[in-house]
Amino acid sequence: MKQGYRDVGYLFAPHIRRFKPPAIPSYSWIRRLRALAEPVEARNQAGVERWFQTHYPGLMGLIPVRLHHEFAAGVIERAVEIASGEE
């Protein structure tokens, strides 16, 4: 590890489902998680960044804007590993 905010995204990725923002109903959260799958599968960092900015603005506010791409890359990396069974 030691890749900065990439590590944060990598470590957070498997836990996203459990950290539902309180204002979002459970049925809606499941739909929103499915919407995240599309940019993750396409390895679209900008799409992943936008999703996190929409759903976790407080978290993204802690990460310098110029490093949001690193966080998104970590989320994508971990999600791809999980999907391929490399855990």
Q: What is the pLDDT of residues 36-85, one digit of tens each?
A: 999 999 999 999 999 999 999 999 999 999 999 999 999 999 999 988 88
Contact 79, 17 (CB under 8 A): no
pLDDT at 25: 94
Mean local confidence (pLDDT), 21-39: 93
Query: What does each C-alpha distance from 61 to 50, 57, 69, 80, 81 come to in angstroms?
Result: 13, 6, 13, 25, 27
Residue ranges covered by each domain of the chain: 5-84
Mean local confidence (pLDDT), 23-29: 93
pLDDT at 85: 80
CA Rg value for the chain = 12
Residue 2 has pLDDT above 80, yes or no: no
Tokens 């990460």 sit on residue: 63
The number of angstroms, rounded, from the C-alpha of 58 to the middle of its chain's C-alpha atoms is 13
